[in-house]
Structure 1
Amino acid sequence: MRLRYSSMVFGVAVCLATLVLLYQVLSLPGETISPGEQKEILSLESRLHRLESNIQSNQHTISEIKALVKQLSKTNARANSILGTQFGARPNKFSRNGIGSVGLEGSQGQAGRGGVSGLRHINNLTHASVMADDCVFSVTAPPPADVQMEKVYELLKFDNPDGGAWKQGWDIEYSPVQWTPERKLRVFVMPHSHNDPGWIKTLDQYYHDQTRHILDHMVEKLPLDERRKFIWAEISYLSMWWDKQPETVREKVRRLVERGQLEIVTGGWVMSDEANTHYFAMLEQMMEGHEWLKLNVGVKPNNGWANDPFGLSPTLAYLLKRMGLENMVIQRAHYSIKKHLAKERSLEFRWRQDWDPGTTTEILAQLMPFYSYDVPHTCGPDPKVCCQFDFGRLPGSGITCPWRVPPQPINEHNVHSRAMLLLDQYRRKAQLFRTNTLLVPLGDDFRYARAEEWDQQFTNYQRLFDYFNSHSDLHVEAQFGTLADYFRALREEAEGGTGGTEEQPFFPSLSGDFFTYADRDDHYWSGYYTSRPFYKSMDRLLEGYLRGAEVIFSLALASQNAPGNSPPAGMAEPLMARLVAARRNLALFQHHDGITGTGKDHVVTDYALRLVRSVDDCQHIIQQSAHYLLSIDQRAYKGSPETVYYELGEKFTEHTQPPSRMVLGLQEGVVVTAVVYNSIPHRRVQLLTVRTSSPYVQIAGPKDIPIPCQIDPVLLKWGEAASTMYDVTFLVDIPGLSLASYNIHAMNPDKLKKDLVTYGQVLVSGHNTPSFPSVFTVEELKGDEPILLEGGQLTATFGSHGLLQSVVSQGRQMNVKLEFIKYGVKKHRETSGAYLFLPDKEAEVVPGSGDGMIVVKGPLRSSLTTQHKYVLHSVYLANSPGVDGLSLEVHNVVDVTPERNIELGMRLSSDVDNGGTFYTDLNGFQIIKRVRHDKLPLQGNYYPVASQAFIQDQQSRLSLLSAQPVGGSSLKAGQLEVMMDRRLSQDDNRGLGQGVLDNVPTPNVFRVLLEPRLFPKESSAGQGMPPAFPSLLSHATSHSLLYPLYLLLPTDKTGAVQPHWNITGELPCDVHLVTLRTMLQFPHSTIPLAKETPSTSQSSIHSPSPLNSLILHRLGFDCAFKSPGLSCSTNGGKVRLSDLFPSVFGERVHQMSLSMLYEGVDMTKSYTLSLQPMEVYALQLSRS
């Protein structure tokens, strides 16, 4: 088909008219363009771009559509054949409701990387090229949810009146006549056992003492009566138990699952924390659990269960939805919020993402209404009554009721009175919900470990159920049930005559999160955002290494399968064993008593040893894979899986100390080739530092072309500089997903080229300053004048105590004052501990130290280091054309060990006029708006900061990006503060039974980013405001902290290798490669979970399958800021895998749910995927 000539003329005329109009609008002075006009401009540019594209591509349109329709017909037929009724009955799993919308374009040519730029740049930096279409998402307000948590916070008083039996609620009343034979109360009592993989005991101790007995009894007791039900969540424990069971017992478990007596809920390796965790690790631990279930039990979880995490994040709700789960139950939210939602009968809601332009991210959720998930707080509002129906507390059991009224065994003499007492609680609880379908959890921590408890609970409750069900005049049906049973009945009622055709009009939608959690009074659980920060930092370090190992191992395996290559014998399995062990150790630490820092000291040590071992394993995988990829002839490769060909640039020697930088030993006249690994699919231009034993070196890049370097002294600690170690810094340019080599020449000092080698100029002040090697010129700082440090794109001014005073960035000057602060603790019975933050008053500023300063200046980087009380503080400025040249890097080594009951933070005070509004991230995945409320105590205004926080006004945004999770807030206009460590002498009465006194000197790494706005921001007072997003520069800066370049130093085993390797393809600026994960081969083998390492375990052999999971995230970003330092572009979310992986992986690609359980669209590598902003996608690749 062709366009008629008249239509073509008309199209050109419209195009010209639009161009004239657009020119007139853009000719207006920049200062006068309002946000609304800016939005109109973006819309006009978008329509113009589409019109031009339509005209240019018209000749090919029909043929492409025909090809696409033909392919989609095949796709649907195949999906139906694989999934059967799943595909038809549950389209949500494969539409945007399920695994995200992936548009397919049948064109086989090159995907566009450019486009109409919506930005104008005035400096000589490289900038990202941003399509105007890609800016529309961030300025478009999504439809508001029925319940917006931000509005709820504005509404509530956050008082705490005594509600009677339900202390945090009210006296619930009901009328017995509201239930009829047609409208019965349906009660599902759900037995469960909450098994923490580490808390008071370690994982192994809990398993041997309690968990294995629970699972043994489960297999024995459930088959005795098909009416019995049970749920299980923690796959880490289930896998440990499973490995020790004969096949007959395993088959019993499978039958229990098939019959619906046992439900696996959520299916993660652990029940993860939701505040400190990064979404990469949340996804990893879920994938590990779901993969294990798929290979061993053959089940796909459908319901989420989060009864214990200390606050809830919509990020996990999103991930569960995109994994194919349909429902979830949550528990720990602020008691005032519970009360409010209960009064509105909105405890069951459709949890939606803030940024969702529709309803595709919604997942049906229930927030449990009462104080806890134990039996006294689940049957109804009166815990004194409910505790009498916890038959695990019968006299002689060793557990009692605090209200001193014990349970009674049910018999024919008391069944009526006991049943009516319990039914009263059920009826009262039912008043808080919109349906007559009621969930009553029956369990607690490590319950059902005794065979007697199984008998006591099931036998006594069955007698009560039999009484209820045999007395029709009570209008109640009661039974044991799982979450699947409950939500099935709930949806049936909601979708019936009373609830419309589906749950959407029946249950309200809700957006926002449930932080910060308070369980009573002013007891806000904002302390654990920072507790044990050393291990939180270690977590992020392992995440980076694990992701890097996943990617390069997958690429190495794919390269082995390239035409003409064959996999080296015996290489893959040992490395896969290390990889799976690292996955599981990282997954274990995501537990809500792991990364939170809320375990006993010896439990923390157990976690730390696992993390250190896994960092070492990941480093080993990286260097092994790199050596294979760099080998001159991969077909003849004869490597050994245990050989160390490269040492990575850092190494742990103790689990209580930061990793030590590796020192490259040099001999004059010898050239050492270091390899740099870039694990992200974007080009990186940045400074890199190598630590050497000699100060007489020159650096050569590709083709051995010399490049400038700067040599600086190494400060071991305050007052001591190294005499035989030097930091050599130079600029590298590394393509995405590549290995590149740089030659380090050890030189005779007389032969150094002075124009290529510069020694940092050292300036010192104060006392106790170290002596430096003679190659450095050392001068005294003069007087109390401000100190000025300059990078290529930044200028920073520091005061007399060496603390930041002001910053000039991208032409914008701002006062930014950095200071250290400390909090004390309340002197009451309830005080700060591992969980709670209960400060005695506002923070005190820690006085500046008189110990002096050390300033190092040079052409590539400059730094200032000063010793303050509790903190060795350093700031670095990079003269780099890349992302690292656009922010200040702050290093704080915090040591609070000499003190007791102290919480130490860092505060930035600036000119930003943010009022009471600030922004924090949720799990590194999304940004959420926070409002400081005077009606909340200070600790209630503290929120988790997983990777960044920022404040902004009409002109600027000030961001603090963090390499580790922390707690933070903006307690006054212009301020941002984060907590860095806390040392507390006492327990806070939340079950841990100890304070936090195992502190060690802890590194905290941040980047301070100041960004001027291209156009003013709309006032936040208006309705329907779009959510906030980081800039592209902020995303890239965060990735540089979390996923740095990795340095590989050769050993005597390295041998002859190629100078570089890369896959040649890259992704658009706004598409992040979350992971490229090698899947396990069936059947599943044992991986060690105890103390043994994979290299010594006899049962650790694993075979990687030929399949890989590729996870992509299209980032949401704010176009109101420039994107300097980047050399990529955006293109409407278009990705063609044949461009990214032209020479590796097979042609067939399957779209999958995020944990790879459900299969969606079948396609080829050459198709163009259209990724939607903020969505995460899973694609299954084959190596052949």
Structure 2
Amino acid sequence: MAIHGGVAFVLLFAGFSASVTGKCSFENCGHYDNSSYVVHIVPHSHMDLGWLKTVQQYFYGTNAGENNIAVKLIYDSVVSELLTDVNKRFIFVETGFFELWWNHSSDASRESFRKLLNNGQIEFISGGYVMNDEAATYYTNTIDQMTLGLGILRKTFGECGVSRVGWQIDPFGHSREFASLLSQMNFDGLFLGRIDYQDKNAREESGTMEFYWRASESLPKSRLTGVVLANNYSPPPGFCFDIYCNDDPLVEDKESEEYNLPGRIEKLMEWIGTRAPFFATNNFLITMGNDFNYHSAHKWMSNIDILIRYVNTRKDLKINGLPVRFEYSTPSCYLKAIRGAKLASKADDFFPYSSDPHAFWTGYFTSRPAFKYLDRFANNLFQAAKQLAAMAGLGGGRLSGLSRALAVDQHHDAITGTAKQFVNDAYTRSTLKGFNEARDVIAEAFVSLSRNDAGPIVFCKSLNVSECDEIDGMLRNGGITVNAYNPSSQLVRTFLRIPTTDGEEAFSVTFCPYRRVLFALPERSGKATHEIVFPIEIGAHAFESVSIKPKKTSWASEFPSEVEVPTYRRLRPGKREFVERRGDTELRIHPTRGLVRMTMNGVTINATAGYYYYESHAGDNHDFGHRASGAYIFRPNVSSPVPLPITSQEIIKGKTVTEIHNTYTDWLSDVIRMTGDGKVEVEWVIGPIPVADKVGKEIIWRMDTDIDSGSEFFTDSNGRETLKRTRDSRPTWDVSLEEPVAGNYYPVNTRIAIRDKDAETTVLTDRSVGGSSLRSGQIEIMLHRRCLFDDAFGVGEALNEPGYDGEGLRIRGTHTIVVQTPDEFDARSASINLALKPIVVFSKEPLETSQSRINVTTLPDIVQLLSFEQLAENEFLVRLENKLERRAGAGTVTVDFPALFNDRIENVKETFLAANIDRPSRTGAIRSVRLYPMEIRTFLVTLK
């Protein structure tokens, strides 16, 4: 299978060696001059921060009935073994487990670890708090978890704690944006374990397992070296020496009848020799380790020692005509060894990933949708809390709990929804505990920034289920004030919705009655029956307060022009089509088929939209053909989903909003909401998905239009740049699909779009989902899944979430539809607004808030203040982002840096993206900051 698609070959740039050379990382690297064929033996242990056990259980070794893994003992064992021989080496990856071990270790153990790190025997690779997923993660979460992990290492070890090599050996596919972020963190290379089996076959045939990754169309310097490992991340067959493996140890005693070296080495050399042509140089990397290996590092390394001694004395052993040399090594040393090689170039990503013809790992794009939303909302709260704490000068470290919880949530078995149910419950508890921390910080910041005493700050903790008992009494007893903070760097015009037990007779604002389905949500315990709906406009990083007061007895006569009584129109299935208008938005709707045509932003398209479900494939997984749909895998029984027709409909029209309430079944309903702002919002409630028929179901929302999009559609990459997708095709290899639906699904973090020369339709999501365009003019996104069979990739249980009441998971969410002429809609800014929604608190009286640390009015419209975080008393972490892509017409923009901080800067230095490495050429008196399209620049700022 040939690689095609304009593959270019690139000579690794000369500056590579300078950027990866360091006193700690490379002093122990071997000599690489093509006089020998070097086999780099890399001992490692892949340690998931939660999967079959919780993080704490994995660390201490509890819940031994599941397995007796104890990460603490792995660290102890490795350190002890490395101290016996300076030639032995080991790599650690996940800083989250390292932090736990360090905090629970003696001074002597810490000093031993530091010694091993300083002399190059231990090396941290990647260095993030976790090995994050790359499909369902939002880019700010990834930056934060990498910054946390790398910051801990730098603070603990100085220069020796700096990592510049990525190690993504277990995530289920790889995003271009993650590679771009690593490049902006000054990483030089990225090692991958899992890529599509057809892609891997093609790379092996063409010898392109190493490649030069151009990771951004907007940032030409965003590039690094990619390496696909020969055997995922496992040792060669027959050479696993862990206590959990059954391979025989190596016996070097020639007098023993168990002597087995010649035969074992012959098989290993044959295994390496068949794979040597897959790689570009006379270097080959062997991963010696696997999941949670090295409880007995001595067992592992004593066998590796025998292997190295034997091979290095056999001068007759050759590969590529060169004598073979085995040595302990690291990924960093391997990159040093292949410096200057001529490598293939790549500019796309590695989605979707399949491991066999019927196993497309595209189900996890949607699995556990409630947790995916929790993660997105928690990030929203976290970013706002960091900003407010910095504005109020509350000091650093106040959000460490939420910071670590969110970091763990990015783990490739957490945000993916592929951990056991009780482990996911633990992730949720940890995140919700962080919520309380953030709420305390936000409340304290509001009070600190306010010039008046407005009474206690109150949060609504259950707005996701449309109740807020905390303010119900305040509403009836003199009214409340809604105080909102906008954490984004652009003006926001939106609608706030506040639950109340009173109807339109009590207040002078638009009221919308709740759908009956909301009363059935098991999480609800309050009595709210309506929601107050009102528009609000909030400036960038600004505050706004709106007071809501009860009507007086003489309200109707005193303020007749402001009284509004919502109107209702009830339609039954079978009636004629009707048209609803709000501003320049017009929807033509059929009472049973739903949407028929829409006009928005001056563009009209014929469009239908509704809900369908795929029946999940059942199976026992004993072969590829019997693969089941599960937490990882999406595999529908047939390619055509089952439609769900509308069974009842109601129109609610108010002064500021028009809502079309649709019921499809007793477990699925939605609201189509029009506010006249050039967008249409669809709010849905799904679940519990019925499975009494013993058939799993996977729910999609699909829109069919007359847009002539052909086979092309567009998705975002981790909330940043847009990638073009082509149905039934891959950019760099010929693909054969036996699963035409699942094989065309891609991650949708914030948006998916189709276009032709006249129109473009974009769907913005409130969480990460899977999506596709399976026909011209069509968009579909998967919203919920309930599968009854495990897909046999390790988690050991079906994706059958019990929900709050044990009857099955109910979820609520929204997506937004925008139709416009091509390239006119700023989808990136709109997606940022959805990810950074206003934070709302309540008080008795309006808060008179102000702050003077930053002057965001100096920011150009296309610049996002991505990070504003207080690290110490007068020290702040600041990131600025040019949020538009080059092809979206964005150019270079300049920020007046002193003016941003009201000329109060005492000192500033620029760092790379993770804030752990200085950029000396950009440190000093920084007057203006130039940002290229999609560029993020990071600063440590000391204010007077």
What TM-score does the superposition give when structure 1 sets the normalisation length?
A: 0.70
Q: Determine the C-alpha separation between the residues in 1 that align with 2:52 and 2:520.
A: 40
Residue in structure 2 matched with residue 854 of structure 1 by the alignment:
650
Give 1:609-648 correspondences, 5 Å limit.
Answer: 609-632=429-452, 645-648=456-459
Structure 2 distance, partners of 1:361, 1:572, is 34
Matched to 1:786, the amino acid is E
Q: Name the residue aligned to 1:510.
A: 346
CA displacement at 1:1181 relative to structure 2: 1.5
Aligned partners of 1:677, 1:182: CA distance in 2, in Å?
61
Amino acid at match of 2:336: R
Pair 1:200–1:956, CA change in 2 (3 A)? same
- Residue by residue over 1:488-528, the C-alpha shift from the partner in whole angstroms, topping out at 9 and shown as x without a partner, is 2222xx3xxxxxxxx5xx22221100011111222111111
> In terms of mean alpha carbon deviation, does 594-603 or 671-680 score higher?
671-680
> Residue 499 of structure 2 aligns with which residue?
691
Q: Please give the residue correspondences for 1:742-757 in structure 2 after superposition, counting only pairs within 5 Å.
A: 742-752=546-556, 753-757=559-563
1:898 is matched with which residue?
690
Q: Name 1:1034's counterpart in structure 2.
A: 827
Residue 414 of structure 2, aligned match among 577, 591, 594 = 594
Which residue does 1:198 correspond to in 2? 50
* Residues 795 and 181 (structure 1), Cα distance of their counterparts in 2 relative to 1, 3 Å cut: closer
CA contact (8 A) 2:213 2:346 kept: yes
Alpha-carbon offset, residue 201 of structure 1: 0.6
Q: SS of the counterpart of 1:284?
A: helix
Provide Cα deviations, 1:331-372, integer angstroms capped at 9, x if missing partner.
Answer: 1111111111122211111111240464x11111101234x3
Cα distance, 1:902 vs structure 2: 0.8
Within-5 A mapping of 1:723-734: 725-734=529-538
Aligned-partner residue type, residue 805 of structure 1: V
The answer to whether residue 325 in structure 2 is matched with residue 477 in structure 1 is yes
Say whether 1:1180 aligns with 2:933: no
CA contact (8 A) 1:1032 1:1070 kept: no
> Deviation of residue 1056 (structure 1)?
8.5
What is residue 771 of structure 2 aligned with on the other side? Answer: 968
C-alpha distance 362-536 of structure 1, shift in aligned 2 (>3 A): same
Displacement of 1:816 in angstroms is 1.7
> Which of residues 214, 220, 225 in structure 2 aligns to 1:364?
225
CA-CA distance at 1:89 after TM superposition: 7.6
**Distance (whole Å) between structure 2 residues aligned to residue 183 and residue 1166 of structure 1:** 49
1:687–1:731 CA contact under 8 A, matched in 2: yes
- Deviations, residues 391-414 of structure 1 (Å, cap 9, x unaligned): 22xxxx45336xxxx554343343
Match of 1:553 in 2: 389
Q: Gaps (5+ residues) in structure 1? A: 1-85, 94-179, 380-385, 495-502, 558-570, 634-638, 700-707, 767-781, 880-884, 1014-1029, 1080-1103, 1122-1129
2:878 corresponds to which letter in structure 1? Answer: L
Q: Whose helix fraction is larger, Structure 1's or Structure 2's?
A: 1
- Percent identical among aligned pairs is 24
In the other structure, the counterpart of 1:1082 is: none
Q: Deviations over 1:733-792 (max 9, x none)?
A: 2221112222222221422523224232122245xxxxxxxxxxxxxxx97122332222
Match of 2:294? Answer: 448
CA deviation map 1:1040-1096 (0-9, x unaligned): 221111221016xxx8852555754232222222221233xxxxxxxxxxxxxxxxx
In the alignment, is the contact (CA less than 8 A) between 1:277 and 1:946 conserved in 2?
A: yes
2:642 matched to which residue of 1? 845
Q: Is the 8 A contact 2:898 2:905 kept in 1?
A: no
State the 1:803 CA deviation. Answer: 2.6
SS at match of 1:1113: strand
Partner secondary structure for residue 759 of structure 1: coil
Q: Specify the alignment match of 1:864 in structure 2.
A: 660
Partners of 1:490 and 1:720 in 2: how far apart? 61
Q: 1:919 aligns with which of 714, 730, 736?
A: 714
The match for 1:710 is 510
Q: In structure 2, what is the Cα distance between the partners aligned to 1:517 and 1:723?
A: 46
Report which stretch shifted further, 217-226 or 931-940.
Answer: 931-940
Query: Is 2:727 the partner of 1:929?
Result: no
Cα distance, 1:1037 vs. partner? 2.0
Pairing of 1:1089-1108 with structure 2 (within 5 A): 1104=872, 1106-1108=874-876
Change (3 A) 1:806 1:448: same
Other structure's SS at 2:349 match: coil
Relative to structure 1, the CA distance from residue 547 to residue 716 in structure 2 (aligned partners, 3 Å threshold; closer, same or farther) is farther
Structure 1 residue aligned with 2:357: 521
Shift of the alpha carbon at 1:288?
Answer: 0.7
Match of 2:713, SS state, is: strand
Q: Is the Cα–Cα contact under 8 Å of residues 791 and 862 in structure 1 kept in the other structure?
A: yes
Q: Which residue of 1 aligns with 2:121?
A: 261
Aligned: 1:908 with 2:711: no
Q: What's the CA shift string for 1:703-760, capped at 9, x where partnerless?
A: xxxxx84233233526889985442222322221112222222221422523224232
2:4 corresponding residue in structure 1: none
Structure 1 residue 236 corresponds to structure 2 residue 26: no
Aligned partners of 1:658, 1:410: CA distance in 2, in Å? 70
Q: Deviations over 1:666-719 (max 9, x none)?
A: 4668353321111112222333333345446999xxxxxxxx842332335268
Q: Which residue of 2 aligns with 1:1047?
A: 840
RMSD, aligned CA = 2.9
Distance 1:189 1:835 in 2: 31
In structure 2, what is the Cα distance between the partners aligned to 1:666 and 1:343? Answer: 70
SS of residue matched to 1:648:
coil
**1:275 corresponds to which residue?**
135
In 2 relative to 1, CA 668–967 (structure 1 residues): closer, same or farther, beyond 3 Å? Answer: closer
With over 3 angstroms needed to count, the CA separation of the structure-2 counterparts of 1:1038 and 1:802, relative to structure 1, is farther
What residue is the counterpart of 2:180 in the other structure?
A: 318
Change (3 A) 1:462 1:715: same
Could you report, residue by residue, the CA deviation over 1:972-1024 in whole angstroms, capped at 9, with x for unpaired residues?
111000111111111111111110111410112100010123xxxxxxxxxxx
Question: Cα distance, 1:920 vs. partner?
Answer: 0.9
Instruction: Tell me which of 796, 810, 814 is aligned to 1:993.
Output: 796
User: Tell me, what secondary structure is at the counterpart of 2:207?
Assistant: coil
Superposition TM-score, scaled by structure 2 size: 0.87
> Could you give the per-residue CA deviations for residues 163-182 of structure 1, whole angstroms, max 9, x where no partner exists?
xxxxxxxxxxxxxxxxx996
Equivalent residue number for residue 10 of structure 2:
none
**CA distance 1:614–1:477, shift in 2 (3 Å):** same
Deviates more, 1:813-822 or 1:741-750: 741-750
Aligned with 1:822 (options 598, 608, 613): 613
Equivalent pairs, count = 869
Q: Does the alignment pair 1:981 with 2:773? A: no
Question: Contact 2:498–2:531 (CA<8 Å) still a contact in 1?
Answer: yes
Asked whether the 8 Å contact 1:1147–1:1164 carries over to 2, the reply is: no
| Deviations, residues 262-313 of structure 1 (Å, cap 9, x unaligned) | 1101000100000000101111110110111112232101211111000011
Contact 1:279 1:925 in 2 (8 A): yes
Counterpart of 2:473 in 1: which secondary structure?
coil
Q: What are the superposed Cα offsets for residues 834-863 of structure 1, whole Å, 9 maximum, x if unpaired?
A: 11111111232323142x222110221111
Give the AA of the match of 2:490.
Answer: H
Residue 680 of structure 1 pairs with residue 500 of structure 2: no
Given that residues 819 and 845 in structure 1 are in contact (C-alpha distance below 8 angstroms), is that contact kept between their aligned partners in structure 2?
A: no
Sort the Cα spacing of 1:927 and 1:425 in 2 relative to 1 into closer, same or farther, 3 A: same
- Name the larger-Rg structure: 1
SS at 2:354's partner residue?
Answer: coil
Change (3 A) 1:841 1:182: closer
Q: Is the 8 A contact 1:523 1:836 kept in 2?
A: yes
For the 8 Å contact 2:710–2:775, the answer to whether it is kept is: yes
Q: Tell me: CA distance 1:800–1:1056, structure 2 relative to 1, closer, same or farther (3 Å).
A: closer
In 2, the alpha carbon distance for the partners of 1:316 and 1:724 equals 43
Structure 1 residues 862 and 1061, CA, compared in 2 at 3 Å: closer, same or farther?
Answer: farther
Check if 1:411 corresponds to 2:253.
Answer: yes
Find the aligned partners of 1:290 and 1:259 in 2 and give their Cα distance. 19
Question: Displacement, 1:476?
Answer: 1.1
